[in-house]
A = this chain, B = another copy of it.
Amino acid sequence: MNQTEFQAQMKEYACLTEEKLKELVPEQPQLTEAVLYQAMRYSLLAGGKRVRPVMLLAFCSLCGGNAQAAVPFACALEMVHTYSLIHDDLPCMDDDDLRRGRPSSHKAFGEANALLAGDALLTKAFEVATDEKQAAAVGSSRALQAASILAQAAGDHGMVAGQVLDLLNENKDIRVEELADIDAKKTGAMIRAAAHMGCALAGASQEQTDAADRYARALGLAFQIQDDILDVAGSTEALGKPTGSDAQNEKGTYVTLLGLTKARQVAADLTRQAEQALSVFGEQAEFLRMLADSLAARRH
């Protein structure tokens, strides 16, 4: 697979997700509560990279599943990711005014609408993942399993726990192991969910699922380290949010704890680990191998 083919495949998965998201959360100008849908779409269709949906669809396809039937579940995953960004930006949380180069949701729609748009997206994710028609295409049991993986990754053992830990550690000295533990929950859980949901929807074997998990674990951490690197080494323009915001919030990051050079080296090692985990899939896994590479090389 060359770069052009890789980019084409990326685009196909991302477009499938994009189109379905628009369909699942339509504009509703005729409704009095139209602002709710505006706020949901504002964040959901803000040009995110769709890394999690792409990974879900790629693993589903790699394990012999029907990627087309998995698209609604990829959308559910992206809805949960988007809700977490909206709530994370709120004044009582990180109080961020910018997200993806635009005013964050509460800046654009007010705090109450941002809170409710987040709540609605989280709920919609499970509406989509438990939908009767969606389920019929993959089977009730696999649909239920995918929805269950999503809920577990997003909840009190996963992403929400990570947020709580993150808040507890603000303005505190932190060791790199603690930081990795927080990130494993805060961002890693949802990236692993992408891999697990893809496998579950395809009815993958335990061996395949374990390999996918190793890939996603390594990639999730590499992704977070890369985020920290970009926060100091990137530009506001490319990132769509102010750089140096972590330092400003006095948050411990991989860069402050390890230094830029060592952080880059760890991220590169983890990316290699992720690629090695794919060996069980052979040639077929070339797309996911190139995905790991492209995330390691990303500029935003």
Contact = CB atoms under 8 A, between A and B. Distances in A.
B112 A93 contact: yes
Q: Is the interface of A mostly helix, strand, loop or mixed?
A: helix
Nearest to A127: B151
A143 interface: yes
A108 to B, nearest CB: 14
Interface in A44-102: 87, 90, 92-93
A122 interface: yes
A44 to B, nearest CB: 12
Contacts of A112: 92-93, 167
Interface in A124-168: 124, 126-127, 130-132, 135, 140-141, 143-145, 147-148, 150-152, 154-156, 160-161, 163-165, 167-168
Contacts of A25: 156
Contact of A144 (B37, B118, B140, B160): B140
A33 B168 contact: yes
Given A115-B90, A135-B144, A164-B33, A126 B126 contact: yes
A127 B148 contact: yes
Contact of A122 (B33, B37, B111, B123): B123
What is the oligomeric copy number?
2
Nearest to A161: B33
Interface string A152-188: 1011100011011101100000000000000000000
A113 interface: yes
Given A115-B90, A122-B122, A122-B123, A148 B160 contact: no
A36 interface: yes
A146 to B, nearest CB: 9
A35 interface: yes
Interface residues of A, number: 50
Contacts of A164: 33, 35-36, 113, 116
A163 B36 CA distance: 10
A135 B140 CA distance: 10
Contacts of A248: none
A106 B163 CA distance: 16
A4 interface: no
10 contacts: A31-B161, A36-B156, A90-B115, A92-B110, A92-B111, A92-B115, A118-B119, A120-B155, A122-B122, A124-B156
A33 B156 CA distance: 9
Nearest to A148: B130
A155 B35 contact: no
A160 B130 contact: no
B87 A115 contact: yes
A263 interface: no
A268 interface: no
Contacts of A150: 126
